[in-house]
Amino acid sequence: MKGQILEDAPMRRYTSMKVGGPARYLAYPVDAPDLVRVVEIAKAKRMSHRFLGNGTNVIVGDRGVDHAVIRITKMRHMQFEKRTNGVRAEVSGGISLQRFIRECAGRGLSGIEKLYGIPGTVAGAIKMNAGSFGVAVSDHLLSVTYLDRAGRLETRARSELLFGYRTSSFTQSDCILGVAFELTTGESTEIKNVMEQVWGERWEKHPMELPSAGSIFKNTGGKPAWRYIDEVGLRGYRMGNACISEKHPNFIVNLGDARATDIVGLIRKVKQEVYDRLGVTMEEEVELWGCDG
């Protein structure tokens, strides 16, 4: 391949929670053919593989993962095309969502500015149908180009895809390479003002000053997940240096040198307490890699 491959890469360096043991291989393809080649090599060696963006929604176990992690953040492309009903914006899946939103704002393109501050890549946002302040990333979507689990490059229009609350048609086995959005033109200053307001509210309500993986649980039963955690008295509950945030109890924060074991222990504690006391089943929003046992 043309890109770079690292051996025994410590995943704490590549995830926002800052925990996790080594991945056997960490590969950085530089374009679509390179990505296809990496997947082919992994399959030929009968080695499992996973795709990773900025690692903002992933918790890796302390023992690491014995497979190839393929990171798409070296694949960068943005293109903007004026159309009669707005602007078509194309972006690589590995580009930071925040960077893309800033680029759109600078060009006076509106539609996704309320998603500003959501960490991770465009691909990650699409996979989980990220949303905030009443806007979902799929709202302005035109099409997605991706590598499917069979190793085929596919392009699907928005109408061919399914999106729901923090869910989409895409699985962990799919790698999103490119996304096209339809945006409207507006005043750059007004768009940036919305971004600043959204950013300020995030800092006020979320523990953004500490390492975390964002929201741990999906909302359920028409209520935000943090309310259930509060109802069972787990705000501030701690295991080792992992802590359920005092500021926002749907966040688990790393107070310094936390272990994945402690973070997963907190997740299990929340699920058990909420189920036992409230009869509600909590579902993780984060992905757990190598965290069994």
Same domain, 123 and 200: yes
Is pLDDT larger for residue 199 or for residue 151?
199
Closest C-alpha to 190, from 94, 83, 88, 104: 104
Beta bridge partners of 252: 244
Same domain, 250 and 273: yes
- Mean pLDDT of all residues in 81-105: 94
Same domain, 86 and 187: yes
Residues forming the active site: 166, 215, 285
Beta bridge partners of 51: 70
**Confidence bin at 231 (pLDDT 50/70/90):** very high
Domain endpoint, select from 43, 71, 99: 71
Same domain, 171 and 110: yes
Domain endpoint, select from 26, 53, 71: 71
The helix or strand, by DSSP H or E, that contains position 2, with its residue range, turns out to be none
Q: What is the CATH number of the domain that holds 272?
A: 3.90.78.10
Please report whether residue 258 resides in a domain: yes
Same domain, 109 and 181: yes
Please report whether residue 106 resides in a domain: yes
**Confidence bin at 226 (pLDDT 50/70/90):** very high
Structure confidence at residue 293 (pLDDT): 46
Structure confidence at residue 172 (pLDDT): 86
**Confidence bin at 150 (pLDDT 50/70/90):** confident
Q: What is the CATH number of the domain that holds 18?
A: 3.30.43.10
- Mean pLDDT of all residues in 82-95: 93
Residue 3 and residue 14: Cα distance in Å, rounded?
Answer: 17
- Mean pLDDT of all residues in 31-55: 93
Same domain, 52 and 161: no
Same domain, 66 and 111: no
Structure confidence at residue 1 (pLDDT): 83
SS3 for 274?
A: helix
Domain endpoint, select from 17, 49, 71: 71
The helix or strand, by DSSP H or E, that contains position 145, with its residue range, turns out to be strand 141-147
Report the percentage of the chain scoring pLDDT > 70.
Answer: 100
Same domain, 61 and 101: no
Distances from the Cα of 151 to the Cαs of 32, 38, 133, 175, 219, in angstroms? 11, 10, 36, 9, 33
Distances from the Cα of 19 to the Cαs of 66, 232, 284, in angstroms? 16, 27, 18
pLDDT mean across residues, the chain:
95
Please report whether residue 219 resides in a domain: no
Report the percentage of the chain scoring pLDDT > 90.
Answer: 94
Same domain, 199 and 86: yes
**Confidence bin at 84 (pLDDT 50/70/90):** confident
Please report whether residue 234 resides in a domain: yes
Residue 286 and residue 17: Cα distance in Å, rounded?
Answer: 11
- For the chain, the domain total comes to 3
Please report whether residue 152 resides in a domain: yes
- Mean pLDDT of all residues in 143-158: 94
Please report whether residue 46 resides in a domain: yes
Look at the block and give the residue holding tokens 């929604």. 57
Same domain, 65 and 90: no
292 pLDDT above the threshold of 90? no
Same domain, 30 and 113: no
Please report whether residue 243 resides in a domain: yes
Range of the domain at 27: 4-71
Same domain, 254 and 185: no
Please report whether residue 218 resides in a domain: no
